[in-house]
Amino acid sequence: MEQYELLWQYQQVDMELEKYEREMRANANRKELLKHRDFLLEQQGVLKKIETDVENMGDRMEALADEIERLSASVNEAAAAFEQHRPEDLEEARKQIAAMEKLIATISRYETELAKARKDADARDRQQREVRVRSAKARAEFDRIKLIYDEEYKQAKVTLEQLQSKVAEAAKGIEPELLEKYKAIKRHSTPPITRIHDGRCGGCNMQLPSAEMSRVRDGAIFVECENCGRIILVK
Ligand SMILES: [Zn+2]
């Protein structure tokens, strides 16, 4: 049989296979599974972010607690020194008191920050628990649907393999270069082979230029569409 007619027949089964693959991808349970998978991945990311936050907050809280302890010791020392060596004059007394007040103000600022950090850490804990509960629910739903989908897929795969072997069978006898060309066209225009209709490309409906039309009149088996690149069978 003529190469281009073989290729035309090949295209029929190839398109049938493509349609079936599309249907498989559109399977409702498959889509649900992908949705749950994406959600689970997203939640993993959220958990990781919370863990990093908690770690950083823990470091900060530790540093604040240390600093508060250190400053408190300084205040105690300053107070003891003030008691033991009474300042000579009012000016000196004011200076020492001001220094202590400054320390106390810093301690109070750190304590406020520490209290806020503790509250944030509690909130993160709650958030973490919520994410875990949500993830466990999604995971259970994923597993439930997966069982159903696996069964559907097993059945669909039988048909898929039948179609695949039909395509492989149809490819026999077609020159490899021609098959490659078909696949190359298919990447941008599908189906790659069409027929001529009223002097137009059956794929994109573009009027064939007069040079191509005269090749058709001279008995060419096919021409190529300069617009969409498809092979246009003449007969
Ligand atoms: Zn075209």
The alpha carbon of 206 and the centre of ligand 1 are apart by a number of angstroms equal to 6
The alpha carbon of 232 and the centre of ligand 1 are apart by a number of angstroms equal to 8
The alpha carbon of 220 and the centre of ligand 1 are apart by a number of angstroms equal to 17
DSSP state at residue 4: H
Beta-bridge partner residues of 200: 197, 207
- Assess whether pLDDT exceeds 90 at residue 7: yes
Query: What gap in Å lies between CA 68 and CA 105, rounded to an integer?
Result: 11
- HEC string of 87-119 equals CCCHHHHHHHHHHHHHHHHHHHHHHHHHHHHHH
The pTM for the full model equals 0.69
The alpha carbon of 177 and the centre of ligand 1 are apart by a number of angstroms equal to 21
What domains can be seen in the chain, in order of their start residue? 13-171 (1.10.287), 179-233 (no CATH)
When the pLDDT of each residue in the chain is averaged and rounded to a whole number, the result is: 95
Which tens digit of pLDDT belongs to each residue from 121-156?
999 999 999 999 999 999 999 999 999 999 999 999
Rg (CA), the chain: 39
- Assess whether pLDDT exceeds 80 at residue 227: yes
Which tens digit of pLDDT belongs to each residue from 22-68?
999 999 999 999 999 999 999 999 999 999 999 999 999 999 999 99
The alpha carbon of 195 and the centre of ligand 1 are apart by a number of angstroms equal to 10
The backbone torsions φ and ψ at residue 219, rounded to the nearest 5 degrees and listed phi first, read 95, 20
Q: Is residue 200 a contact partner of residue 208, using CB atoms and an 8 Å limit?
A: yes
- Assess whether pLDDT exceeds 80 at residue 1: no
Q: Between these two residues, 46 and 85, which has the higher pLDDT value?
A: 46
- Assess whether pLDDT exceeds 90 at residue 12: yes
The alpha carbon of 201 and the centre of ligand 1 are apart by a number of angstroms equal to 5
Helices (H), 26-89: 28-84
Mean pLDDT calculated for residue range 59-80: 95
The confidence score (pLDDT) of residue 58 equals 93
Which tens digit of pLDDT belongs to each residue from 190-201?
999 999 999 999
The alpha carbon of 196 and the centre of ligand 1 are apart by a number of angstroms equal to 10
The alpha carbon of 4 and the centre of ligand 1 are apart by a number of angstroms equal to 17
Beta-bridge partner residues of 233: 195, 222
The confidence score (pLDDT) of residue 86 equals 85
The alpha carbon of 184 and the centre of ligand 1 are apart by a number of angstroms equal to 15
Query: What gap in Å lies between CA 207 and CA 201, rounded to an integer?
Result: 7
